[in-house]
């Protein structure tokens, strides 16, 4: 006869409050994006693409809830990047190309900004949430004694700033692809000669995603050379993406599509600096060579 499964440790109230806040933030973000689409008069194809991407971003709050309930360490940096980029994403949709933004859009942006700020504060300032995300992981096991919940061997600790850098770097490719898809509208405006440049931009964004994935693996392991290469990758991305936004999409596209990536890059560089300052990339001392025996 199988043993009774132990009752799992209840989640603290702060985790339930943060879960509710994330759900409300996702709904509010989607509502503000629809409201902005309703009031927009000069959006066109570009606004359609940016609004569609923003709606997909709203679903990431549900992914964050999953990571939170599983108690994963990466929930905090994921929430920070998601909150910051959501604020910029909503801001670029609320502000029209000409004239002043609609009052409902401004009010909606203020609500989303306050909700995102609340998410960040709970993730980083709530002791209950921090302890819950740092608790030992457990899994269900089926053995001779029946179904039991046993602790899993803990993974090596990864500093929070390293995880922040990792999540920020992963966002490079997605932000570039959005701007690239927006620039596709130029082909339908009588500028087909831009197709090769847009294709190169698209391929470059895909290559960046694979390079970032490769470097992030060694970044977590504390390799100094991975940090150096990630700094170089960030600079190359900025040198390619920002001029292309300005050349193809104008000053408006530079602000709307270049601004979010610039913020993500600054967060990645800041995370690398803080992690390096805390000694994460300090090389471990080498073991001294054994002296030959006289035997």
User: Are 98 and 196 within one domain?
Assistant: no
**Cα(70)–Cα(132) distance, rounded to whole angstroms?**
9
User: Could you tell me the pTM of the whole model?
Assistant: 0.74
| Together in a domain, 92 and 181 | no
pLDDT at 206: 94
> To the nearest whole number, what is the mean pLDDT of the chain?
81
Q: Are residues 126 and 205 in the same domain?
A: no
Given a contact cutoff of 8 angstroms between Cβ atoms, the answer to whether 129 and 122 are in contact is yes
Q: Quick one: 163 and 215 in the same domain? A: yes
My answer on whether 130 and 205 are in the same domain is no
Mean pLDDT computed over 52-57: 80
Count of the separate structural domains present in the chain:
2
Highest-pLDDT range among 66-80, 227-241, 270-284:
227-241
pLDDT of residue 4: 46
pLDDT at 32: 84
Q: What pLDDT was estimated at residue 230?
A: 94
- Measured between alpha carbons, how far is 267 from 105 in angstroms, rounded to an integer? 27
Cβ atoms of 147 and 2 within 8 Å: the answer is yes
Alpha-helical segments (H) within 126-220: 127-133, 160-183, 195-220
CA distances from 35 to 16, 24, 91, 117, 260 (A): 29, 16, 13, 21, 21
Identify whether residues 182 and 116 lie together within a single domain: no
% of the chain surpassing 90 pLDDT: 26
Residue 127 — very low, low, confident or very high, per pLDDT cuts 50/70/90?
A: confident
Is 293 inside any structural domain?
no
Residue with tokens 């701007």: 179
The band of 2, judged by pLDDT with boundaries at 50, 70 and 90, is very low
Residue-number span of the structural domain to which 239 is assigned: 159-281
Local structure of 144: helix, strand or coil: coil
Residue 7, pLDDT > 60, answer no
């Amino acid at each position: 006869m199988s043993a009774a499964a132990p009752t799992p440790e209840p989640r603290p109230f702060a985790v339930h409050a943060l879960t509710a806040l994330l759900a409300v933030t996702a709904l509010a973000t989607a509502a503000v994006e629809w409201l902005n689409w309703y009031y927009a008069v000069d959006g066109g194809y570009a606004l359609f693409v940016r609004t569609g991407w923003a709606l997909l971003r709203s679903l990431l709050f549900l992914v964050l809830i999953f990571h939170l309930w599983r108690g994963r360490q990466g929930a905090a940096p994921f929430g920070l990047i998601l909150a910051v980029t959501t604020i910029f994403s909503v801001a670029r949709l609320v502000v029209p190309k000409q004239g002043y933004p609609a009052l409902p859009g401004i009010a909606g942006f203020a609500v989303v900004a306050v909700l995102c700020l609340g998410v960040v504060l709970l993730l980083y300032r709530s002791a209950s949430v921090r302890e819950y995300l740092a608790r030992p992981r457990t899994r269900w096991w089926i053995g001779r004694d029946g179904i039991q919940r046993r602790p899993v061997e803990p993974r090596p600790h990864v500093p929070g700033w390293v995880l922040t850098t990792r999540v920020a770097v992963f966002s490079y490719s997605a932000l570039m692809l959005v701007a690239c898809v927006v620039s596709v509208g130029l082909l339908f405006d009588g500028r087909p000669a831009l197709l090769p440049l847009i294709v190169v931009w698209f391929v470059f964004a895909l290559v960046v995603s694979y390079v970032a994935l490769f470097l992030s693996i060694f970044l977590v392991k504390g390799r100094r050379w991975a940090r150096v290469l990630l700094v170089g990758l960030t600079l190359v991305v900025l040198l390619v993406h920002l001029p292309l936004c300005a050349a193809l999409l104008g000053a408006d596209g530079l602000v709307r599509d270049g601004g979010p990536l610039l913020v993500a890059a600054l967060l990645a560089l800041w995370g690398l600096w803080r992690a390096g300052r805390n000694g994460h990339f300090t090389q471990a001392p080498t073991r001294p060579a054994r002296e030959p025996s006289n035997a």
